[in-house]
Structure 1
Amino acid sequence: MAQKPSIPKGTRDFNPEQVAKRHYIFNTIRGAFETFGFQPIETPSFENSDTLMGKYGEEGDRLIFKILNSGDYLSKANVEAYDTKNSNKLTPSISEKALRYDLTVPFARYVVQHQNDIEFPFKRYQIQPVWRADRPQKGRFREFYQCDADVVGSKSLWQEVEFIQLYDTVFSALKLEGVTIKINNRKILSGIAEVIGASDKLIDFTVALDKLDKIGEEKVKEEMISKGISEAGITKLQPLFTLSGSFESQIESLKSILSTSEEGQKGIEELAFINTAISELGLSTAALQLDVTLARGLNYYTGAIFEVSAPKGVKMGSIGGGGRYDDLTGIFGMKNVSGVGISFGLDRIYLVLEELNLFPETVNKNVDVLFINFGDHEALFSLKAINKLRSQGINCELYPDAAKMKKQMNHANKRAIPFVVLVGDEEMSSNTYTLKNMISGEQYKVSLEALIDLVK
């Protein structure tokens, strides 16, 4: 007996209903991207290994899927590495390409490679799959889509303002209310580290601070002490642990805390500018919130940092994030190109919409009308009508076989097709159609024009 086929761990099949729901999210995001002036690009699913390797840190390098060279790949293998089973040295000699790990590094490569053809500032969006050799678990897959938008070539804070509006536009269109757009600034975190005398331990400090919501104040302090941050410095942090209230009141508190840090004061100015603009412009459904513990991607971001939280009551991590970076293309030799970008978490947004029952019923709509097949003569007559229905934007099809009527009706029911059309000798002679409403059970004998009107 043949073994039942399977798919690799961390990958998924999507049934028609799931694909329709995913496309609903894709199309909503894509429509908002284009409304805001972003242009689409696509990059290859795999890149040269040296484009990707060394760009994500040691852990990221381990999670990159390598592609074996074509043909007899072992003929050019590093013999010493092969004999000593040193995979780190062996891999470059047998693999020159790799599946893309994210859309950001390929985008940086694209900008540098095509810089003479790009009009800056360049607003691009990209919706494509990426691959990571991660350990699969709930909500984490080895193949998944990223939905990114970036602007490169401008340091203007109006870009950050527009990205907040973009998030709000997308979640409003998805009818997802109660979303919180959290914002912080790398310069604020650098300023805090400077004030407490821990500039050399910025990463350790922020990694610990980022856990405040999860492990609480005391555990955060313990972790900071274990990383070599002084108790005197942590005492100076005390106001941060209780920082709350409106965006404006938190800004005022930060001005006092960071009064001696020029870098920190600059971060405060940037956040205040963004908040003032958003207050004037307004948001439809999302709320903007200052969160000084937010520290995602600190090795990467240089200014604003964004993270989007699902509505309260929904157990889900962030459903979007991003921030400002000042030297993305520097990894490929093109210096001083500032940029800012955000990403939407497609899979998590899908789960949130599913949990809150926010997918429109029309998302799953596939076929409106099924024509029953009574034989070749009737099928040809039906297909002429089907052509006219399709030209009117009505999704319809002919059952391919002249099977028993019960089987064809069951097929329509299982696929939730709302209308069935029956065409026999009587209908053909009178040039009419019997239309059956599969929900109410009612039947009508109608002309083609009336059939179109009823189905529409």
Structure 2
Amino acid sequence: MATKISIPKGTRDFSPIEMNKRNYIFDTIREVYSLYGFQQIETPALEQLSTLMGKYGEEGDKLLFKILDSGSYFGDFSYEQLFSQLIKESLRKGYLKIYKNHKFKSNMDLNTLDQKLRALIIDLIQRGVGREKGLRYDLTVPFARYVVMHRDEITFPFKRYQIQPVWRADRPQKGRYREFYQCDADVVGSDSLLNEVELMQIVDTVFTRFGIRVCIKINNRKILTGIAEIIGEADKIVDITVAIDKLDKIGLDNVNAELREKGIGDEAIAKLQPIILLSGTNEEKLVTLKEVLADSETGLKGVEESEFILSTLKNLGLKNEIELDLTLARGLNYYTGAIFEVKALDVQIGSITGGGRYDNLTGVFGLSGVSGVGISFGADRIFDVLNQLDLYPKEAVNATQVLFINFGEKEVAFSMQVLAQVRAAGIRAEIFPDASKMKKQMGYANSKNIPFVVLVGENEMNEGKVTLKNMETGEQRLVTAQELIEELC
């Protein structure tokens, strides 16, 4: 019985048509990033685990894919090195007494060990001991590492964009994948709020080009910190932000229950309710927040920053709605200022873009005082939204523009000369490789959604022309090579 083949849950294959659609997404985002002066970099899929751990909060750390050297339990360690590391860990935790009865040596057969010791070693490895590398969780932390490593080579402010896959050991579900692409843009080395303004302009431009109606949500971690201060739970800011960030997903009652589990008292939770459920226009919310946060210097700073961003964007006339949303928290620990999230209005799906200001991220890698702000487009979710709304332009989906039909050796020789001219003009064209039946070749054109075919027979060769057929209308006409190019350009 043949083994059933599959791919890991939370990952996907993409067909040629799907790749055309994805490249349309990447190319659109890339073009807009370039309009605003961002330059592209790439970083490795693998990072040192020490680079990733502790940067995403407790919940984020649980979703890191940790891997072993060479993809096996033991990788390129000698057994002596591996056992030394594992035994040191097990002794520290008081797990192991029997190790003294074993002499460890290179290339030792694991099966010769005491069963309990063998099970313990495997258990320790499975729980992460000896794992030194991880797949990147996002593109922001690797970018911070890049900035520190290359600080003598780059000019600040440094505006970079990056379009690469990331991995999260999450539970797969609709709109949530274990492997997915992010399309990031970040500015580091500048405190100016104009960076936040321009990033929101980029978001607005990208989704306007896609034809997707969105709501751009904005908040500020300083406002959230101020709220935590005035309800008397300043030391629980992380727990509060992680909980209220789930409001859309689990509802207010479950958010309150999670806050209680984290040790936040009922009185503080009661004070929190009218704040996170604040309604009205952006201007009305800001006025209320100034009153509520009057005793919090940090909170008022967040209100001031939000007011500048929102008022500047209002004067610039964005095509999409922008909303101050106090329930927006973005659970990642490294955000320190403005935070953003984008929701599609016509499709039920999670956020399709997010980001924010992070002042301290490079400090953990030895370079303090470098502020940054960035956004990330979720390409896979945008792909799903464009599919559901059927918003792809035809030219983005159809790869080949014209197919030359193969009638035989002489006809192919003539066609190849015309084909070379067509390709030189930048027209995507191909010739059917075999002199198969006409029905098969035309079926090939239909299956690939090729809009035009070229037919070359005895009459066409005698006149030095080709017959161009429109596959949608069925119209045919005799044209020169130049006329063919003009028609398809």
TM-score after normalising by structure 2:
0.86
Q: What one-letter code is carried by the residue in structure 2 that aligns with 1:293? A: T
State yes or no: 1:309 paired with 2:309.
Answer: no
State the partner residue of 1:200: 235
Q: What one-letter code is carried by the residue in structure 1 that aligns with 2:67? A: K
Q: Is the 2:276–2:326 Cα contact (8 Å) retained in structure 1?
A: no
Structure-2 separation of matches of 1:90 and 1:455: 58
Q: Secondary structure at the match of 1:77?
A: helix
Structure-1 separation of matches of 2:68 and 2:395: 41
The sequence identity of aligned pairs, in percent, is 57
Instruction: Please list the CA deviations of residues 79-113 of structure 1 after superposition, one character each: whole Å capped at 9, or x if unmatched.
Output: 63673235445787765443322212211111011
Q: Is the 1:436–1:443 Cα contact (8 Å) retained in structure 2?
A: yes
Q: Secondary structure at the match of 2:19?
A: helix
State the partner residue of 2:65: 64
Q: Is the 1:69–1:96 Cα contact (8 Å) retained in structure 2?
A: no
State the partner residue of 1:418: 451
Q: Is the 2:156–2:188 Cα contact (8 Å) retained in structure 1?
A: yes
State the partner residue of 1:172: 208
State the partner residue of 1:119: 155
Unpaired stretches in structure 1, ≥5 consecutive residues: none
Q: Secondary structure at the match of 1:237?
A: helix
Q: What one-letter code is carried by the residue in structure 1 that aligns with 2:82? A: A
Alignment of 1:92-111 (within 5 A): 95-111=131-147
Structure-2 separation of matches of 1:143 and 1:231: 40
Structure-2 separation of matches of 1:198 and 1:239: 16
Structure-1 separation of matches of 2:77 and 2:59: 26
State the partner residue of 1:372: 405
Q: Is the 1:74–1:94 Cα contact (8 Å) retained in structure 2?
A: no
Q: In structure 1, which of residues 418, 422, 427 is the aligned counterpart of residue 460 of structure 2?
A: 427
Structure-1 separation of matches of 2:141 and 2:22: 25
Q: Secondary structure at the match of 1:137?
A: coil
State yes or no: 1:31 paired with 2:56.
Answer: no
Q: Is the 2:335–2:358 Cα contact (8 Å) retained in structure 1?
A: yes
Q: In structure 1, which of residues 321, 342, 352 is the aligned counterpart of residue 385 of structure 2?
A: 352
Q: Secondary structure at the match of 2:200?
A: helix
How far does residue 74 in structure 1 lie from its aligned partner after superposition? 5.6
Q: What one-letter code is carried by the residue in structure 1 that aligns with 2:302? A: G
Alignment of 1:8-19 (within 5 A): 8-19=8-19
Question: How many pairs align?
Answer: 453
Q: Is the 2:223–2:298 Cα contact (8 Å) retained in structure 1?
A: yes
Structure-1 separation of matches of 2:457 and 2:131: 63
Q: What one-letter code is carried by the residue in structure 2 that aligns with 1:19? A: M
Q: Is the 1:212–1:293 Cα contact (8 Å) retained in structure 2?
A: yes
State the partner residue of 1:150: 186
Q: What one-letter code is carried by the residue in structure 2 that aligns with 1:78? A: F
How far does residue 434 in structure 1 lie from its aligned partner after superposition? 2.3
CA distance 1:334–1:159, shift in 2 (3 Å): same
Between 1:319-328 and 1:363-372, the stretch displaced more is: 363-372
Q: Is the 2:219–2:325 Cα contact (8 Å) retained in structure 1?
A: yes
Q: Is the 1:67–1:99 Cα contact (8 Å) retained in structure 2?
A: no
**CA RMSD, 1 decimal:** 2.4
Q: What one-letter code is carried by the residue in structure 2 that aligns with 1:150? A: D
State yes or no: 1:185 paired with 2:185.
Answer: no
CA distance 1:374–1:234, shift in 2 (3 Å): closer
Q: What one-letter code is carried by the residue in structure 2 that aligns with 1:98? A: G
Between 1:134-143 and 1:384-393, the stretch displaced more is: 134-143
Q: What one-letter code is carried by the residue in structure 2 that aligns with 1:28? A: T
Instruction: Please list the CA deviations of residues 218-260 of structure 1 after superposition, one character each: whole Å capped at 9, or x if unmatched.
Output: 5544544454333443443353254211111111111111111
Q: Is the 1:69–1:94 Cα contact (8 Å) retained in structure 2?
A: no
Instruction: Please list the CA deviations of residues 102-158 of structure 1 after superposition, one character each: whole Å capped at 9, or x if unmatched.
Output: 212211111011001110111111001122333333222222111111111111111
